[in-house]
């Protein structure tokens, strides 16, 4: 089955950057760690919740890079000797591609869960009349 490409379709102009973002997001988020939920709190409010047990605030990073929300974590366990290690202590990066009308409100760490709140802002999807010159 041939791969669909935005740039190959004559009616989808300028979507090559979106296609690249989707491909890179799929590659980065492929391992399923850490598990996460996405909640719709209201029509315009969303919440991403990641299970990050064992991570401290200083081990986590939430960054908006253009249209991408990049959440990463890296634990440092210097000098720890384990008899058994069943709790994952590895670094991760989760990338979420956000629409232009979505902004990040804030984030917090609560009971081993990293909570990132988002909201839809109005005005970006307005209909505009284009003047013909």
* Domains delineated in the chain: 31-120 (2.60.40.790)
pLDDT recorded at residue 45: 94
pLDDT for residue 7 is more than 60:
yes
Which among 62, 73, 61 has a CA at the least distance from the CA of 34?
Answer: 73
Identify the residue with better confidence: 81 or 16: 81
Which among 81, 42, 77 has a CA at the least distance from the CA of 59?
Answer: 77
CA distances from 9 to 15, 21, 25, 113 (A): 10, 18, 22, 41
Q: Token pair 């988002």 is at which residue? A: 118
| 87 phi and psi angles, rounded to 5 deg | -95, 125
Using the Cα atoms of residue 6, residue 40, residue 88 and residue 62 in order, give the sign of their dihedral: positive
pLDDT class of 133 with cuts at 50, 70, 90: very low
- Tens digits of residue pLDDT in 65-110: 888 899 999 987 777 788 988 876 789 999 898 888 888 999 999 9
| 8 phi and psi angles, rounded to 5 deg | -85, -15
**What pairs with residue 108 in β-bridges?**
115
- Tens digits of residue pLDDT in 28-60: 556 788 999 999 999 999 999 999 988 999 999
């Amino acid at each position: 089955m041939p791969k669909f490409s935005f740039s190959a379709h004559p009616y989808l102009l300028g979507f090559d950057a979106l296609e690249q973002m989707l491909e890179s997001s799929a590659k980065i988020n492929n391992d399923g760690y850490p598990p996460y939920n996405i909640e719709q709190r209201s029509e315009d409010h969303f919440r991403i919740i990641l299970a990050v047990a064992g991570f401290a605030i200083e081990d986590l990073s939430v960054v908006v890079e253009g249209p991408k929300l990049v959440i990463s974590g890296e634990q440092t366990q210097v000098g720890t000797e384990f008899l058994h290690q069943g709790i994952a202590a590895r670094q991760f990066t989760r990338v979420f591609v956000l629409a232009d009308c979505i902004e990040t409100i804030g984030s917090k760490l609560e009971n081993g869960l990293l909570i990132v709140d988002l909201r839809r802002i109005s005005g970006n999807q307005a209909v505009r009349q284009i003047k013909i010159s």
